[in-house]
């Protein structure tokens, strides 16, 4: 059927409109496809740039003991992950290792070129010729001698935060340190109420225990011990502290307690570490008397390494002469030191009263003495 010009023109416009619509739709589909492809590539690039890491779930202070339940896994940009980042389980277990006789097992990392990931290696006291391996079947550690496995007994020390860190901080080797509290066979939890404690001492703080003589001399008896304040029925004890102590430390402190009692005006007191994670343990300067030294030498509960260390301290010319000059001489003095004794007792009483008020402010209860 013939069509007139108006009909042909209308049909042509319709076909042109359809063609334009198809072209526009095709362009839109193409743009959407390209955009989706770009988004997909960006997502993939983002995924490739991310790495699952362990981060803290809470704020920690320098010296706080770190445990696995204080961490969670999240994703972080690979560029922001420290070079010495390590899996928490591996870091907390291997980083805290010692042999049974107290030799440190150090941790080192290098990068695997194939995977671009840090690989952990263990060495006896940092000696690269004495690498320590873990037997996956038994979980025990060994070194290789003449291609034979020589298993070694190990113990652990707590891993602590080296510095204050906020929640969501990525864990790395540079942020942690070893505590000096090695759990050797002779370690016991000891409780003392004869030590004058810092006013603001709380559980988790690290302390030195010192002996101060009325002549002004001051000796470090035991160093860098993690303090625990006992809680009895919800009330913190104001004058009591618990510490993990080795046999030689127990005997040293026992000797100092007796001498603090015998010397009028002497004071056995504790001092806090300001940044326990960064500060190294002080070197003890207190030398036990001859009787305790003899006991230590014959005591089978003291490991050989401790005997040697204590013997070296006792036989050091400087420390030995300091004991003879200041401690022994003070024990034999009969002079009138009542004034100093009174002042020392007043200072101790004032410290205890202030500490009681401080603990009361923390707990909202009245602390008790034991």
pLDDT in tens, 37-76: 888 877 777 777 778 888 899 999 888 888 888 988 888 8
Distance CA 327, CA 322 (A): 7
3-state SS assignment for residue 271:
strand
Residues 165 and 239 in one domain: no
Q: Would 274 be classed as within a structural domain?
A: yes
pLDDT tens for the chain, 370 residues long, are 556 777 777 777 777 778 888 888 888 888 888 888 888 877 777 777 778 888 899 999 888 888 888 988 888 888 778 877 777 777 776 667 888 777 888 877 776 677 666 677 888 888 888 898 988 888 889 998 888 888 988 887 788 888 899 998 888 878 888 777 777 777 888 988 888 889 889 898 999 999 998 888 899 999 999 999 888 777 788 888 999 988 888 888 888 887 887 787 888 899 999 888 888 888 899 888 777 777 666 766 655 555 565 556 555 656 556 555 556 656 555 444 455 455 556 656 666 677 777 777 776 654 455 4
Tokens of 22: 């198809």
Q: How many CB atoms lie within 10 A of CB 38?
A: 10
Range list of β-strands (E), 167-312: 176-178, 188-192, 206-212, 218-226, 231-232, 235-236, 241-245, 267-272
Q: Would 25 be classed as within a structural domain?
A: no
pLDDT at 17: 77
Q: Would 95 be classed as within a structural domain?
A: yes
Angle between helices 304-315 and 247-262 (to 10 degrees): 40
Q: Would 194 be classed as within a structural domain?
A: yes
Residues 107 and 243 in one domain: no
Residues 230 and 99 in one domain: no
Tokens of 134: 């873990």
Q: What sign for the dihedral angle of Cα 26, 27, 32, 37? A: positive
Eight-state DSSP code of residue 79: G
Residues 193 and 174 in one domain: no
Distance CA 93, CA 239 (A): 34
Which residue in 260, 315, 252, 261 sits closest to 284, CA to CA?
Answer: 252
Q: Would 350 be classed as within a structural domain?
A: yes
The residue from 158, 178, 198 where one domain ends is 178
| Helix H or strand E encompassing 312 | helix 304-315
Which residue in 303, 323, 304 sits closest to 313, CA to CA?
Answer: 323
pLDDT at 332: 57
Domain count, the chain: 2
Residue 291 has, within 13 A of its CA and on its CB side, a CA count of: 6
Q: Would 339 be classed as within a structural domain?
A: yes
pLDDT at 273: 93
pLDDT at 95: 67
Residues 156 and 215 in one domain: no
Q: Would 15 be classed as within a structural domain?
A: no
pLDDT at 340: 46
| Residue numbers of the domain that contains 98 | 53-178
pLDDT at 336: 44
| Residue with tokens 């002080």, as numbered in its chain | 282
């Amino acid at each position: 059927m013939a069509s007139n010009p108006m009909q042909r023109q209308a049909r042509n416009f319709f076909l042109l409109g359809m063609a334009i619509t198809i072209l526009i739709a095709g362009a839109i589909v193409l743009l959407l496809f390209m955009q989706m492809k770009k988004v997909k590539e960006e997502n993939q690039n983002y995924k490739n740039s991310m790495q699952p890491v362990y981060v803290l779930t809470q704020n920690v202070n320098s010296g706080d003991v770190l445990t696995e339940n204080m961490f969670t896994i999240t994703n972080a940009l690979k560029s922001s992950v420290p070079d010495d980042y390590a899996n928490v389980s591996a870091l907390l277990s291997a980083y805290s290792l010692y042999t049974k006789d107290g030799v440190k097992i150090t941790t080192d990392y290098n990068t695997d070129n194939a995977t671009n990931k840090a690989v952990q290696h263990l060495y006896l006291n940092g000696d690269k010729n004495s690498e320590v391996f873990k037997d996956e079947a038994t979980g025990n550690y060994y070194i290789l001698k003449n291609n034979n496995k020589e298993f070694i007994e190990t113990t652990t020390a707590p891993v602590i935060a080296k510095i204050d860190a906020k929640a969501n901080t990525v864990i790395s080797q540079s942020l942690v340190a070893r505590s000096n509290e090695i759990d050797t066979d002779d370690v016991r939890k000891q409780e003392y109420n004869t030590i004058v404690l810092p006013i603001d001492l709380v559980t988790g703080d690290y302390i030195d225990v010192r002996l101060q003589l009325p002549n002004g001399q001051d000796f470090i008896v035991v160093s860098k011990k993690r303090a625990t304040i006992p809680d009895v029925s919800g009330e913190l004890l104001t004058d009591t502290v618990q510490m993990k102590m080795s046999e030689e430390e127990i005997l040293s402190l026992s000797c100092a307690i007796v001498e603090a009692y015998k010397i009028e005006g002497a004071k056995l007191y504790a001092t806090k570490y300001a940044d326990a994670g960064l500060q190294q343990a002080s070197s003890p300067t207190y030398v036990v008397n001859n009787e305790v030294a003899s006991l230590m030498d014959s005591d089978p509960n003291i490991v050989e390494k401790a005997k040697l260390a204590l013997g070296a301290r006792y036989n050091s010319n400087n420390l030995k002469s300091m004991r003879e000059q200041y401690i022994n001489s003070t024990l034999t003095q009969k002079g009138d030191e009542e004034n100093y004794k009174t002042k020392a007792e007043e200072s101790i009483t004032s410290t205890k009263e202030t500490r009681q008020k401080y603990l009361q402010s923390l707990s909202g209860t009245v602390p008790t003495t034991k």
